[in-house]
Every structure is written in structure tokens, then in C-alpha cells.
Amino acid sequence: MAHDDAHTETDQLVFQNPVTRYPSIEPPKQDQPEPGLDADLEPKTDRGEFSYRGTGRLEGRRALITGADSGIGAAVAIAFAKEGADVALNYLPAEEEDAQWVKGVIEKAGRTAVLLPGDLTDRTVCENLADKAAEGLGGLDILVNNAGKQISQDSIEDITDEQFTDTFTVNIIAMFRITKAALKHMPAGSSIINTTSIQAYNPSPTLLDYASTKAAINNFTKGLAQQLAPKGIRVNAVAPGPFWTPLQVSDGQPKEKLPKFGKDTPLGRAGQPTELAPAYVFLASPESSYVVGETLNVNGGTPTP
């Protein structure tokens, strides 16, 4: 999105038709090795560099976000910084280019970005992540568990044991390990936000492993929320519908589905990552103090349970 266009859009955001806020994209068939890069994605996404307006809702807060280099995590990192937070970003070493871009946007907003590359299939990486974030930021009071692995397969026979296990490791086991290790740093008032998916309720036949991790994340969130509420730590989840991100082109979707991605939602288009950011800001902010164990659906209008 060009710089000038984006500034115009910020002004117009005061009143916008959600159907036409962004064009209904028809992504060309494309393939990237896993993990995909925003730098190579076609068309480009809006991660809020110019379009997200901060209003000081996370002033002085310190956040760790996994999968923060691209897509939804990048949009959340940028919004948090524009709301006044310093942010530690975890991502895979192969995603350094995307991470550097996000770091630049955060620094332009006058905030600190701490880069923590590391593979979350490695237990030690998970267990040390919050320590490193707290050290780099001078504390920790927001954790966004957002990293995710999604590889579509037509048949259960095509899912290798390794794929099934890795998907569970990245999506839910790492969430357990990171959260457990983060708690010792998080004072009352802190917020934990997990990224689940509409797939938790409405599983695609091609995403057996992925969709079942997302159901597990919803359940984990609601259980942990009750456990931590008396300690003053709120746990919630965000459930995106179809958002245009690198996940979709690195085998997240069957290739033939890409041109129609998101068109079957009531809004008739895929979401742009920055359209998810306000949900995370809301759940992180002290204003949502009575919202606990909730899954906030941001999906363009598809009904959910």
C-alpha cells in the first residue's frame, strides 16, 4: 500500500464501509516454501504501517508476540507499538527479512523492538523465550501466542506423522511451554491472548491436524482463564476467519482455492491483517478488565457457536 494512499485512508477511517474498506482480492496461484514471507506475497497486505491509529491504550506495556514477523502477528506488533507498548518478536530465523521490516515500523512509532528468532519446535527455545523478552523489555505483561503451522492435505493418508506432530508442537504444545515459563514474569493486570481460528468450530476437510489444534487452543484458553483470573491475569483468544497472509501460500491452502480466498464470507472478501489488530489491543488493554476466557471472532460475519 503506497504511503500517500495509506494516509488518505487513515483520515477516511473515521467512517468506512467494511465491504469496500479493502478490495476483494483475487490472489494469483503462488507457492512459497514454509514459512512464507510477506516480502514475497502477492498481493501485499495491510499490516497497519500507515492505516492503524494508536490512541495510547497500551502506554508503557511490554509484550511478547510469537510469529510476529508477518501476517497477523506483524499487524498486532505494529498496533501494540502505536498504542505505546514495547514489543519482543519471536519468529523463525528464515523470516529475518520480514522481522526487520516490522522492527523498523515499531521504531518509527518511537517504541523498542527486541528480536528473538527461534524455532518453537525446540522445547528449550520455548522455555527461554519469556526470560529473554523480559530481559530485553525490562519486564513482561502481555503474551500473544500467535505462531502457527498450517499445511493442507487432501487425505489423512497424505499427512505424515511428522507433519501431524509438528503442527501440534508449534500450535499448542509450544503455547503451553511458553505460557508456563512466562507466568513468573507477569504481574496482576497482565494479559495472555492466544490465536485460535474459525477452524476450531468449522474444520476444513483438508486441515485435520491444524483444525484440531485450534479446537484445543480454544479449550486451553477457557480452562487457563479460570485458573489465572483470581491472580489478576486475563486469558482470552482471538479466532480469525480468512486473512490474507503468507501462511496461505506456503501450503496452508490448496493452490486452486487461493483466487477465491475469503469470498464466501458475508463481507465477501478476505480480511487484511490490520483488521485483526483492534481485537488484540482490546483484549490486552486494561479497559477489558471483565473480559476473561472469551474467544473474539473476527471473521467477516460467519456465524460461530
Binding characters for Mg ion, 15-54, by CB under 5 A (x = yes): --------------------x-------------------
Residue 53's Cβ-side half-sphere holds a number of Cα atoms within 13 Å equal to 10
- CA 20 to each of CA 7, 26, 211, 232: distance values in angstroms, whole numbers, following the listed order: 17, 15, 30, 40
Active site residues: 210
The entry of Mg ion, ligand NAD, none near residue 278 (CB within 5 to 8 angstroms by kind) is: none
- Does position 251 interact with ligand NAD (CB under 6 A)? The reply is no
Contact pick of 46, 69, 141, 251 for ligand NAD (by CB under 6 A): 69
- CA 135 to each of CA 48, 63, 84, 104, 235: distance values in angstroms, whole numbers, following the listed order: 27, 12, 19, 21, 23
Nearer to ligand NAD, 14 or 38 (CB): 38
Q: Are 148 and 239 in contact (CB under 8 A)?
A: no
Nearer to ligand NAD, 140 or 238 (CB): 238
- DSSP secondary structure letter of residue 14: T
3-class DSSP state of 194: strand
Binding characters for ligand NAD, 12-51, by CB under 6 A (x = yes): -----------------------xx---------------
Nearer to ligand NAD, 11 or 256 (CB): 256
Closest approach of Mg ion to the CB of residue 250, in Å: 9
Candidates 46-54, 140-148, 176-184, 220-228 — which segment interacts with ligand NAD by CB under 6 A? Answer: 140-148
C-alpha cell recorded at residue 132: 529473554
The entry of Mg ion, ligand NAD, none near residue 243 (CB within 5 to 8 angstroms by kind) is: ligand NAD
Closest approach of ligand NAD to the CB of residue 37, in Å: 9
- DSSP secondary structure letter of residue 237: E
The Cα–Cα gap between 273 and 81 comes to: 15
Residue-wise DSSP of 134-158? HHHHTS--EEEE--------SSGGG
Contact pick of 32, 167, 197, 218 for ligand NAD (by CB under 6 A): 197
User: Binding residues for Mg ion, per CB under 5 A?
Assistant: 35, 69-70, 95
